[in-house]
Amino acid sequence: MQKARRRVYDAIVVGSGATGGWAAKVLTEKGMSVLVLEAGRQIDPKKDYRMMTWPYEIKYRGLAPGSVYAPRQPIQSKCYAGNEYSSHLFVDDLDNPYTTPEEKPFWWIRGRQVGGRSLTWGRQSYRLSDFDFKAASRDGFGDDWPISYKDLEPYYDQVEEFIGVSGSVENLAQLPDSRFLPPMAMTCGERMLKKSVESRWRDRRVTIGRAAILTKPHQGRSACHYCGHCDRGCDTHSYFSSNGSTLPAAAKTGRLTLKPNSVVRELIVDANTGKASGVRCVNQITKQDFEEYGKVVVLCASTLESTRILLNSKSRIHANGLGNSSGTLGHYLMDHMFQISVSGIVPTLRGMEYDHSDGRANGIYIPRFRNITDKSPDFIRGYGMQGSSGIGYSYQHAKQHRGFGSDLKKFTREFPNEVNFWLGAWCEMLPRMENKVTIDSKKVDAWGIPILNIDCQHSDNERAMAIDAFNAIREMVDSAGFRTQFASNSPAPPGFCIHEVGTARMGADPKTSVLNKWNQSWDVKNLFVTDGSAFVSQGCQNPTLTMMAITARACNYIAEEYKKGNL
């Protein structure tokens, strides 16, 4: 009996989230056959999206702590989106363990399903600038990216034109404008803050958030209807997710194969050519091993998972992990310092009629203003701020009251309609060699794959930045006449901002980096890594838009080089 001939794809893409979806779209549209491997299950929007689910339709009415509704998710349930409505879109922490030094917690928030975290991300979409790509040249710390803003600009354009980003033009050098859909409207409290801040500080700007949420029909997708529950999945695909945008575009070519429940263990390297020839996987459900083969491999598994795969891909030639000849693989982990914030009420707006603004899944943004034209004596780099002001519908206040029956109804109907606000900082973390991940060879996950040890903490520079950011927030809200009721100057552990980047950095020198300027492994020429692990430095902007842009750029290069026979 003749042995079945194994299929060899033009490219294997590991991961189906924001970057994996983009890799699939670009490569299939360029004529390549692509296999996308996703560690998690396929999504059924009818069952998994709970955009219109009422509290009475779920067991604990959305009021229980994570220890009650998600006992196997002690880390995931800390996330605002990992709630009772959406906990099924986050991983099981017990099946997916990792270790940290006792004194250095790291809260790793993850999603394993088709679409990954593109189903639950906050959709804030900001371009980096040469203040970020060339930061080392400005302040002398670390290394510049091997690319500039001009190199990435056309790919930012390409991504934005497809996914749709709403926002307003501001003409700021540190925050390049995007190709915007119409901006969402600011609320009364936000306009008050904008007027106060911009009249007092010439270097500060308050703008509406730039969000990958449609404000008009776009690319066959409907405009947002402002239900306010984006973290539960979007039935109308009005926000960007790979499920609603890039994966369908790739499938339309007829050249996409999507294989869920495929947990990648390691990459296969051909001993004769030195090139990657495929991947070894474990079926998530049956736990049976299998292999898939491709002529190009693109890792888009998420920052730490891609690096974990590389570190676990050891061989005689690659004793310290695949693509690690520089010794930098796993190092330079970053995540924004998070939860430096204040919140309270806007006294002058008390009693304002409910304005439905709590359905707008967006807020305001204050771009970085430190170390732009001035030079802080206390820290390098900078921070941006995000926040909002609005009034919640009365039922939200009812759960704060202990009354029952007519007493509860009276309280709910006559609640004085306080207008709330909050404002927080996203502080850049410096790329430092000592912030790293390694393989904990003594422990494995539910599929027998060695797990990560994550060793990461904030530095004196981030702590000094946080003090400055906290003081700046206080002075701005005070100047607007807002009344602070809660203030936090204690940052969350790294990881909790869910903006982790670094660990497989790009660079101009193979001795100090893992990837070249095309996201191509210096050591294995047909291996590419295009998710957040490729970042050289972080900036203070949300990273997902940049991840998608570098993926689009790398995959255009892959397609060209593949046609030439160079891979």
Comparing CA positions, the residue from 278, 260, 282, 280 lying closest to residue 269 is 278
Instruction: Please enumerate in sequence order all residues whose Cβ is within 8 A of that of 164, keeping only pairs 6 or more positions apart, or say none.
Output: 181, 212, 213, 214, 218, 219, 221, 240
Are the beta carbons of 112 and 105 closer than 8 angstroms? no
Contact 497, 425 (CB under 8 A): no
**How many CA atoms within 13 Å lie on the side-chain side of 99?**
13
Rounded alpha-carbon distances, angstroms, from residue 91 to 39, 94, 153, 455 = 11, 9, 34, 21
Q: Name the 3-class secondary structure at 222.
A: coil
Kind and range of the H or E element at 194? helix 188-200
Mention every residue, 6+ apart, whose C-beta is less than 8 A from residue 329.
Answer: 307, 310, 311, 320, 321, 323, 503, 504, 514
Encoded tokens for 469: 């950011």
For residues 183 and 168, give the distance between their C-alpha atoms in angstroms, rounded to a whole number: 6
The pLDDT value recorded for residue 3 is 57
Are 507 and 535 contacting, i.e. CB atoms less than 8 angstroms apart? no
**Per-residue model confidence (pLDDT) at position 391:** 87
Burial 60-81 (b: 16+ CB within 10 A, else e): eebeeebeebbeebebbbebeb
Positions in the chain whose pLDDT score sits under 70: 1-4, 393-402, 412-416
Contact criterion met (CB below 8 Å) for 306 and 533: yes
Strand 289-294: give its sheet, edge to edge. 8-9, 289-294, 276-283, 262-269
d(CA 425, CA 141) in angstroms, rounded, equals 22
pLDDT of residue 4: 62
Q: Which of 413, 419, 416 is nearest to 388 (CA)?
A: 419
Looking at the DSSP bridge assignments, the partners of residue 340 are: 425
User: Residue 316: what pLDDT?
Assistant: 87
- For residue 196, report the phi and psi dihedrals to the nearest 5 degrees: -65, -45
Say how far apart CA 327 and CA 514 lie, in whole Å.
Answer: 8
pLDDT given for residue 118 in this prediction? 97
Q: Which residue has the tokens 């609640």?
A: 415
Q: Which of 155, 115, 157, 88 is nearest to 248 (CA)?
A: 115
Query: Taking Cα atoms as reference points, which of 292, 219, 243, 247 lies closest to residue 28?
Result: 247
| Distances 440 to 284, 308, 327, 494 between C-alpha atoms, Å | 21, 10, 17, 19
Q: What is the DSSP secondary-structure string of 363-409?
A: -EEE---TTSSS--SS-SS-EEEEEEEE---HHHHHTT----THHHH
Pair of tokens at residue 547:
């991840």
Q: Element (H or E) spanning 157, and its range?
A: helix 149-163
Handedness of CA 111, 112, 113, 117 (dihedral sign): positive
- The predicted model scores a pTM of 0.96
CA angle at 548 for the pair 15 and 509, rounded to the nearest 5°:
90
Beta bridge partners of 366: 385
What is the per-residue pLDDT for 401? 66
At 443, give phi and psi (nearest 5°): -130, 150
Map out the domains of the chain with their CATH numbers.
8-164+240-333+433-457+500-567 (3.50.50.60), 185-214+337-427+458-493 (3.30.410)
Q: H or E segment at 563?
A: helix 544-564
pLDDT, residue 422, reads: 97
What is the spatial distance between Cα 39 and Cα 282, in angstroms, rounded to a whole number?
Answer: 9
Say which residues have a Cβ less than 8 Å from residue 250's Cβ, sequence separation at least 6: 21, 24, 25, 27, 28, 29, 34, 36, 256
